[in-house]
Amino acid sequence: MKDIPALGMGTFRLKGETAYQAVTDALDVGFRHIDTAQIYDNESEVGSALADFELERDEFFLTTKVWNSHLNRTGFIPSVKESLEKLSVDYVDLLLIHWPSPEDNAPMDEYLGELLKAKQQGLTKHIGVSNFTIAQLKDALRILPAGELYVNQVEVQPYLQNHDLRAFCASNDIKVTGYNPFYVGEVLSDPEIVRIADKHGVSPANVAISWQLQNGLITIPASTNKDHLKDNFNSRGLQLDAEDMIAIGKLDRGDRKIDPDFAPQWD
């Protein structure tokens, strides 16, 4: 099974032709890891872009996520098959539970059992979760067979560095995908990030992405601008020094951007 590329392209909030063109541009730039979700309502456009680009299936890594309304035995597997149809693939590389069931309305044993079943049926190569707390990860590790929980996708950015959660994941061999790396753009105008970018002669986006990568995170920045996509992809060439990493570490203020009313009780 192919491992997840550390740098991917996120598609949150991208719709219709915009989503199609952004994914096409990302593939043209060199991205081979695309992240989507049932609730994004763009799986068809993502699938069309991948199909039209005519890559071999093993040349890209594709993630989607199961929405809250399908966290049950009746709806889970049919929803995954519908996603595959929209994405025009036989399987995804990574299938995630998008959010833990709000207020535990659905038993975790049930929906994680369905997640494992999706893998056993060949609908996905890897399985994981998103927006799970440490307590919820402990439950998931109890429910799933050892080594099955591949990823926890959570918000991580300079203003919310999630140290405790990341440490727990590291100690349990769970990869972390940090979403919203730019804090919806605000990180890119932060004076300290701008200072470090100027020091290296790069963009603030390069700094934000490199900080994630050097922390061992997977990151999935989104953009609809091809030049920005190219810049994001080129972030892999930047090496921040220890002074830079310490300076960005000091920006942590526990400031969470993605916090819907059905979110869990965060760590």
Encode pLDDT of 82-129 as tens digits. Answer: 999 999 999 999 999 999 998 878 999 999 999 999 999 999 999 999
Using alpha carbons, select from 157, 266, 133 the residue that is nearest to residue 219. 157
Looking at domain 9-182, its CATH superfamily turns out to be: NADP-dependent oxidoreductase domain (3.20.20.100)
Annotated binding site for substrate: which residue ranges? 98
Cβ contact 50:23 at 8 Å: yes
Question: Does 1 have pLDDT greater than 90?
Answer: no
Say what the pLDDT of residue 103 is: 80
- Rounded Cα gap, residues 129 and 152, in angstroms: 5
Q: How far is 174 from 144, CA to CA, in rounded Å? A: 13
pLDDT-derived band at 247, boundaries 50, 70, 90 = very high
What integer is the mean pLDDT of 42-70? 97
Per-residue pLDDT at 29: 98
Model confidence at 27, in pLDDT bands (50, 70, 90)? very high
Q: Would you say residue 133 has pLDDT above 90?
A: yes
Per-residue model confidence (pLDDT) at position 104: 75
**Domain map of the chain by residue range?**
9-182
In angstroms, rounded to a whole number, what is the distance separating the alpha carbons of residues 50 and 184?
Answer: 26
**Active-site residue, 40 included:** yes
- Distances in Å between the Cα of 134 and the Cα atoms of 4, 67, 162, 254, 257 are 22, 21, 11, 16, 19
Q: In what order do the strands lie in the sheet with 175-179?
A: 9-10, 33-35, 61-66, 92-97, 124-130, 149-155, 175-179, 218-219
Distance CA 76, CA 56 (A): 28
Q: pLDDT at position 83, please? A: 98
Confidence of residue 237 (pLDDT cuts 50, 70, 90): very high
Q: What is the mean pLDDT of residues 251-255?
A: 97
Percent over 70 (pLDDT), the chain: 100
Residues contributing to the annotated binding site: 98
Choose, from 40, 150, 159, 179, the residue flagged as catalytic. 40
